[in-house]
Structure 1
């Protein structure tokens, strides 16, 4: 594709139509409640070049947006069957809709930003454990020049501050994560227990992150919320229906002789509608969407997205020391002990020597743009995938 800006939907338009009026308009409420505007589903959830990736040769490609459309077609058909009264759905329809739910979760802004936050936290931890002298050595070796104490102080403070360095969310890395997790996440959701709620009068809302991962009331605050730790997945289907997907291991055992508890369909109540809308609003990133003439958010708590806690590595503060956590040891021993496991790669570790410098995508001294070295690293990552 030519190097041009494309308007790309982070939430499927076929899905948003279920919350719109006959003219195709939907109300968008900005958290924590204002402003509220009515706009076309063509313009809702649009972010410029959100799925556009940079190829190793430096060109831009929207190939993944086209791949997503191939998932949306069968999913739209499956959703049509559900809303028309077919329940439960099985076979290809169930597979198609489970795949779309997985895609809709994994392609969200929350997942992309969360990935960036965790990268920053990991870099903070590795540098903090290694110490200032190791950071100086990394910079000097990468840039072939001496580093002054003032510059080193600046870099140390910025990298080891709470949350780590400011890193621009990266489309290439996000897409790589999405494509690696999509098949297993879709299969996991397909095999869960599904419950359909139908509402005669109560209105259901959705959001810019319509797949909500709900946790149990006793879920530890220190533990992150992910695909395998969620108590259930909540998906508003349209303004009169919603779906919950619950892992079967969290469901009561079926009676003797029954292979598994069948999927349920239930009539929704006012209390259930309110609970669904509250969870949806609480987990939205920036916006909640609903039918223009209805008020499903009335008397609900709408969070301020700027005050939300972001994912972090617990108990990292005590590991960050200017002299390094393992000061006094030989270089060989220090590197062995300070190696930090990479998720999914238990057979290898990562030390400060493995951090590319400049840090890819870091928002520092570069007018908010990734450095050339950082862009090369992103391109190599995409090429490897």
Structure 2
């Protein structure tokens, strides 16, 4: 039998035993080593996303191949052979079952918009066999014919590889700020750009690291938790703005302007997921700059904004909904580069809980006690 934490209904998370599944064609069984707890998991618990319950939560996972069908051995997306014992990570979302909706047909370059997208640990019920469709479990069942499987680079430890999914979110957010064409035009994100990251939880911390690795000039991190701000500095932030010391939006915007010579940031990445951060991000963005909104995966409500400011500043505001499957390749490379630059990526997972302790782990993560909280068998 396989133990897993199951979200039975909104607000009810229980540990349940499932039969160990037989591995079918083009499939593999992954023994989970670590699975991060994400803000999405908290939203799922509180019913802020419509999903077919019951589900096994957990979409940020890394583990080792336990069993594998012969047809799946050649399905690693970069062409690496897969064998028992290999450390792997899997892109949780796939549009491979669709191909027929409006977005698959007419906007194929953005697969996350697929209307029939399936996401392990988010919208796949565990009611029917093989059941194990989420990472808060001892094992994860992976259909390698439909989900992208990546072999983790040699020497990368599981506590870093588990950051692949959130790093995919963070790197794609920064890439949304890229401007094709003439670098001398000074549009979007580029070498030496000034970047503000609002909210330095795990996604924001990795956005700071990614901005540093991508060649940002000045990086400013905004948060109200000392531990996060300290880690942001170690990840590459040049300055931090503490919400406790700068208690109003006006004070924080003034500090960003002071640090940027009165101009504002070239790029602002909103990772806080708090509606009030959005108009503040607009105010922190320089004229002609870009604001990337990545923090609001669910809808916590609205906020008042001044449309005139958007026009007067002539700024670009870009949303960011997850990432394409190919983003994992860049995320893994960014993590490799970060290890090479001796960024403290190994320290980002601060707390580990057993599958049986998943309810306590979720409560702990919601209380923002640690940086990245993870489930481990």
Question: What is the TM-score with the length of structure 1 in the denominator?
Answer: 0.24
More helix by share: 1
Question: What is the TM-score with the length of structure 2 in the denominator?
Answer: 0.25
More strand by share: 2
Select the structure with the greater relative contact order (CA < 8 A; seq sep ≥ 6). Answer: 1
- Structure number with greater Rg is 1
